[in-house]
Structure 1
């Protein structure tokens, strides 16, 4: 029987799928990394606000309040920047995931075609074997009858 004619395409699609999986994992890791940094800065802001609140109750200098406000303003800019990075990383991750899903569907289609082809080849081989067995049986019968 002839080999499966779409083997090269199937292998290519599987390779593309593996590459897409790798890219998705990298995008997911990037998203997690940026999200963790954002969480860190948000937690830091929360901690500093709580600390500042306690200092206000005990009384602090105006200069300290001004420097705290400046620090919080800078921290908020960093947080805004990381929120933007998180959104970008999430979008990239989702795009990579969609590509991976599409390639996975393509690979499944080719695998299904190959499975059908293999089943057809197996059926043809069984038919050929059965025909060969029938021929052998007929030959044996003819040999016995002629003796």
Structure 2
């Protein structure tokens, strides 16, 4: 008799859900990395601009140029603030999908464990049935007239 797991369809669905959760998580990680990289670039750019302005101030700079740089730095700061919020949102999304993936992994592991126990039960039942059949055959051979050694 061949083995058939009674929850095979459910296990297949749970594995598919886990794969989808994994893909969602990987996408969220990518979005987080992209947002963090953009924030890093903006911060680096602001730092370089402030250093450039500081160097120019030592050598002398017109009031108009100073205003222009300050306006640009102010806009950059707004972009950095927005980017920081994007990083926070991306991190929250990544954490959400990570938890979802962990939950789906647990569901799959539960069904795999059930399947393992069911397979062991099936094997033990098959062995017991086989042993009983062997006992029955032995008894029938023993009971037959004309057996050897009588």
* Structure 1 equivalent of residue 43 of structure 2: 42
* Structure 2 equivalent of residue 140 of structure 1: 141
For residue 61 of structure 2, give the secondary structure of its aligned residue in structure 1.
Answer: coil
How big is the shift at 1:137?
2.1
* Structure 2 equivalent of residue 9 of structure 1: 10
Provide the aligned C-alpha RMSD in A.
1.5
1:1-147 alignment runs, 5 A limit? 3-143=4-144, 144=147
Question: Take 1:27 and 1:72, find their aligned partners in 2: how far apart are those partners?
Answer: 30
Q: Unaligned 5+ residue runs, structure 2?
A: none
- Larger mean CA deviation between 118-127 and 134-143 belongs to 134-143
Q: Which runs of 4+ in 1 moved over 4 A?
A: none
How big is the shift at 1:146?
8.8
Residue deviations 1:13-70, cap 9 Å, x none? 1100000000000000000001000000000101111111111111111111000000
Normalised by the length of structure 1, the TM-score is 0.94
How big is the shift at 1:97?
0.5
Q: How many residues align?
A: 147
For residue 137 of structure 1, give the secondary structure of its aligned residue in structure 2.
Answer: helix
Normalised by the length of structure 2, the TM-score is 0.93
Q: Unaligned 5+ residue runs, structure 1?
A: none
Question: Take 1:140 and 1:33, find their aligned partners in 2: how far apart are those partners?
Answer: 78
Identify, as 1 or 2, the structure richer in helix.
1
Question: Take 2:124 and 2:79, find their aligned partners in 1: how far apart are those partners?
Answer: 66
